[in-house]
Amino acid sequence: MNRPTGLLCLTLFATACGPESEIAANETGKALSNSEQKTDVSALVDPPVITFWSSTGCPNGTQVGWYTYNNTAMIMPNSSGSGWVNDEAKSLMVFRMPAGTIIRVYDSPSGAHDDDWAEIVINEYAPQLCVSSFEDPVNNAAYSLRWCRHNGLNGKVSQARMQPYAFNGSTCNGSWYQL
């Protein structure tokens, strides 16, 4: 047996027979059910996803882009960056999105605050959630949305960003619409 094959066998044996092969338990030491174990690994198998839609109300219209989210700060480029279609998105849906995720959509291609932009905060884990418009302020248990109005944002989104912590800067050169 050569060295790489031996290392592979050792790794497989340690994985199959190591402490991880025991029944999983929660913080109290109680064994987890199969469904609870599945939930723990589902973020790896089914990562959070964000989709953008060409009409208000989410699954209406055409899907104009989607991204998987890995719980780190990310900029989602528009079509010039081979991402979603520029100036088409009017709503978004998230799937399996963790609480505390913050999404911003901008009219400005650079994400500047001198034009329309909106901030969406996911308040609780969202297995599936529709943000039906970027221009309708919301503040409920699932999410909150505030909108900096200049001349309209729906159908004009040129950049989107998301991250698991608060953004720096929130100037509004228009009028705030929020609840």
Closest CA to 140 of 158, 159, 126, 161: 126
Contact 91, 132 (CB under 8 A): yes
Tokens describing residue 37: 């174990």
Which run of H or of E encompasses 5?
A: helix 3-17
Averaged confidence pLDDT in the chain: 81
Confidence of residue 64 (pLDDT cuts 50, 70, 90): confident
Report the range of poorest mean pLDDT among 31-40, 51-60, 65-74, 149-158. Answer: 31-40
Q: What's the whole-model pTM score?
A: 0.73
Q: Could you give the C-alpha distances from 152 to 43, 89, 166, in angstroms and in order? A: 35, 12, 24
Q: What is the pLDDT of residues 75-105, one digit of tens each?
A: 987 655 546 688 889 999 999 999 999 999 9
Q: What is the pLDDT of residues 11-37, one digit of tens each?
A: 555 555 544 445 444 455 666 555 454
Task: Provide the b/e sequence for 31-49 (b: ≥16 CB within 10 Å).
Answer: eeeeeeeeeeeeeeeeebe
Tokens describing residue 30: 């109680």
Helices (H), 28-122: 34-45
Report the range of poorest mean pLDDT among 22-26, 71-75, 118-122. Answer: 22-26
Which pLDDT score is estimated for 101?
97
